Structure 1
């Protein structure tokens, strides 16, 4: 006989919120049964209406607060409650940093089974607004009007966005101008249901150190109507624009980019730098969206690597070479591997741009390439990983355990998969010394981490 749930749909309950989920919902528990409630903060007591239940957890709607958190604030963004871009603007920044530290601490214990690892307070920003250097907004039609903005929470409905206070101001200006130009020149937005129209997305990249700007039109059609007039208007109105690009995506898909990218005007890349390292950034390049905190993150990775100038380092998941080139400043030799061929082309170009001769890049899966290097006699003193959200491939973890580098530096964008992978490495003879959370995405629940591991004596 199935166990009776402590609550049912349409019940009204009052309880204390204990925690936040990874997507910013408050968590209250009734007889151990978790209920997820948007817009609630830990330490608050609230009245909630149960709107949905299943075997393991339920969902509620906040009716009123009986006790408020000292970290609660009025969200500064006028469309915060409609837009799905941020999750925790209703929490002040001090509270956000603490919540992210708690999140990391909890998963290290629950998933990683790591009780004695030092978890440092989250490294935050002096100014946690206007930090994003890349704006990538879908375009659509609502009530006969062209709109562009982020998707509403849990939907594909576009919330029209006059500005976004986590984006660089110049990105807002470009998106606003492009909307006006499309209206003037009759450029139809893409309709994903009917698979008709022209403009699917607008992407803007702003370089924080050089002030260079790239504008990318992502279209369903091969032609961008009235492109000469549009290019001229952008060049006239946007100081610093160095590159105007079109990407064609004719497929019926939610993937943003198509295979064909063509230069409409200017240069194919813009340049930016993080610390002393310069980067060429193309329309398709992966480049961290918060350059100020990227430097904080990479400085910590470099610190954890403890390089003296005599070490060989392998950078798995190297992307366009951002971490590799940071490491190359202090290492004897750095090997970088990445599965995306375009990223490796960018990495090689960036190494050349900075005059680094001690870096070597290869295309392929880390779990295939690194064992080959090992067979060829490459012995890493330090191995750095910066995997996607799903964490390290199981075969790569096995390769690390076979190669036994003295130090592993793990850069992660997902504390849960980081904790899982650290547990595997601990079982294989490594000790996690410390974990440093870094706030790359203020106003959201995302948190990046850097973990330092040493190979235990006798392994």
Structure 2
């Protein structure tokens, strides 16, 4: 995948109303080189082979829009909060074309349903007005949409339900619509309660022949094309090593586990979210695989006992990294090979230092987030010392 070297034009950047893309003034080639250099400075080791970085499209790549809703019900803004209220970013060039086309229609839904945007200006409960906090939209590779309205309470739930037929007619590509309830007056994107308003509760994400079923609160990489490259690279390394057993910690909806499944190989995925595990199992069933071939279990990845050490373990932790407990378990485990997918090179470097029995042998930067310093890096590690004790 190649990308042109141009600097992205952005009306919002030029107007000075949005600075979310901190690297927007740099050419894309310069951005990619800087990311490679930054990761190497933190995790490079003797003998580590760096594969060429995976580039992204500089624009139109972002499959999820996280929009703060401001303004009024009659004139809503979809974007971010500025010093004087909502800043409308509905034509942001980073979003996929399908999301850009859908956002004006969704703004029209806010107007039609009379959903009053939440007023964040007052710190006192008695001074707060409005219900609608955020709009979250995800587009699948097939062009289908998941639309989530984040409300302060269920007071306007009936309004959303009443006008849902209009939305489905105006946007036939909408597959899933939910209301998420987030009652707290703080910078939290979503709450714990999700009300599904459509027959379908998951969005199918087809990635290289594998269908992942994305629930409303499931994690999926923001850049679908680069996510596919991430899974392909992991699969190539695993097929080369040919382990009989694989453990996938932080497996989510099964992205790595389902891509690594192969005849004669048993895969176990561990994820703390029961909804994600159910979605992963649905993806396994779609592929015609049995639970004996690919097993998904609900558990804490930092402490789950995989039993006999697998031939390879994949870890895909959040930004905070593995932490001492899981890094310590892996260091003592006897697992011959690790694949570490990291969105934070700083915590990756810390975790590598906590696992001196493993030597990084290959690494690849994948640019999930053009126009920013954020990235993904995939590292293959091989054990160089035998396990000291059984965990």
Counterpart of 2:187? 254
Q: How many residues align?
A: 374
2:104 to 176, 194, 210: 176
1:409 aligns with 2:334: no
Counterpart of 2:87? 159
Could you tell me how far 1:156 is from its partner in structure 2? 9.8
Could you tell me how far 1:159 is from its partner in structure 2? 2.3
2:250 to 317, 328, 335: 317
Counterpart of 1:128? 58
RMSD, aligned α-carbons: 2.5
Counterpart of 1:340? 273
Counterpart of 2:40? 105
Alignment partners' CA distance in 2, 1:305 and 1:438: 18
1:386 to 316, 340, 361: 316
* 1:255-294 Cα deviation digits (max 9, x unpaired): 2222222222342122121111111122112122211110
Task: Confirm or deny: 8 A CA contact 2:249 2:316 kept in the other structure.
Answer: yes
Counterpart of 1:361? 296
* 1:320-352 Cα deviation digits (max 9, x unpaired): 111111111366111111222322222222222
Structure 2: 5+ residue stretches without partners: none
Alignment partners' CA distance in 1, 2:365 and 2:84: 31
Task: Confirm or deny: 8 A CA contact 2:137 2:146 kept in the other structure.
Answer: yes
* 1:293-319 Cα deviation digits (max 9, x unpaired): 101111111222245655111111111
Task: Confirm or deny: 8 A CA contact 2:176 2:200 kept in the other structure.
Answer: yes
Alignment partners' CA distance in 1, 2:145 and 2:5: 36
Counterpart of 1:438? 366
Counterpart of 2:233? 300
Task: Confirm or deny: 8 A CA contact 1:108 1:115 kept in the other structure.
Answer: no
Could you tell me how far 1:225 is from its partner in structure 2? 5.2
Alignment partners' CA distance in 2, 1:388 and 1:423: 18
TM-score computed with the length of structure 2 as normaliser: 0.88
1:186 to 114, 119, 133: 114
Counterpart of 1:211? 143
Could you tell me how far 1:124 is from its partner in structure 2? 0.4
Task: Confirm or deny: 8 A CA contact 2:181 2:192 kept in the other structure.
Answer: yes
Could you tell me how far 1:157 is from its partner in structure 2? 5.4
Task: Confirm or deny: 8 A CA contact 2:345 2:377 kept in the other structure.
Answer: yes
* 1:375-394 Cα deviation digits (max 9, x unpaired): xxx22110111111111121
Task: Confirm or deny: 8 A CA contact 1:277 1:326 kept in the other structure.
Answer: yes
Could you tell me how far 1:98 is from its partner in structure 2? 0.4
Alignment partners' CA distance in 2, 1:440 and 1:76: 19
Alignment partners' CA distance in 1, 2:174 and 2:5: 39
Could you tell me how far 1:142 is from its partner in structure 2? 7.4
* 1:191-227 Cα deviation digits (max 9, x unpaired): 123442121111111111x222121111113133533
Q: Secondary structure at the match of 2:157?
A: coil
Alignment partners' CA distance in 2, 1:379 and 1:183: 56
Alignment partners' CA distance in 2, 1:151 and 1:414: 26
* 1:106-140 Cα deviation digits (max 9, x unpaired): 1125xxxx354233332103x32111111121112
Alignment partners' CA distance in 1, 2:241 and 2:362: 20
- Point out which structure has higher relative CO (alpha carbons under 8 A, 6+ apart): 2
TM-score computed with the length of structure 1 as normaliser: 0.75
Counterpart of 1:22? none
* 1:30-69 Cα deviation digits (max 9, x unpaired): xxxxxxxxxxxxxxxxxxxxxxxxxxxxxxxxxxxxxxxx
Structure 1: 5+ residue stretches without partners: 1-70
Task: Confirm or deny: 8 A CA contact 1:269 1:282 kept in the other structure.
Answer: yes
Higher Cα Rg: structure 1 or 2?
1
Alignment partners' CA distance in 1, 2:368 and 2:255: 15
Alignment partners' CA distance in 1, 2:85 and 2:267: 45
Bigger share in strand: 1
Alignment partners' CA distance in 1, 2:90 and 2:300: 42
Q: Secondary structure at the match of 1:369?
A: coil
1:419 aligns with 2:352: no
The residue correspondences of 1:368-379 to structure 2 (distance < 5 A) are 368-370=303-305, 373-374=306-307, 378-379=308-309
Counterpart of 1:327? 260
Task: Confirm or deny: 8 A CA contact 1:101 1:119 kept in the other structure.
Answer: no
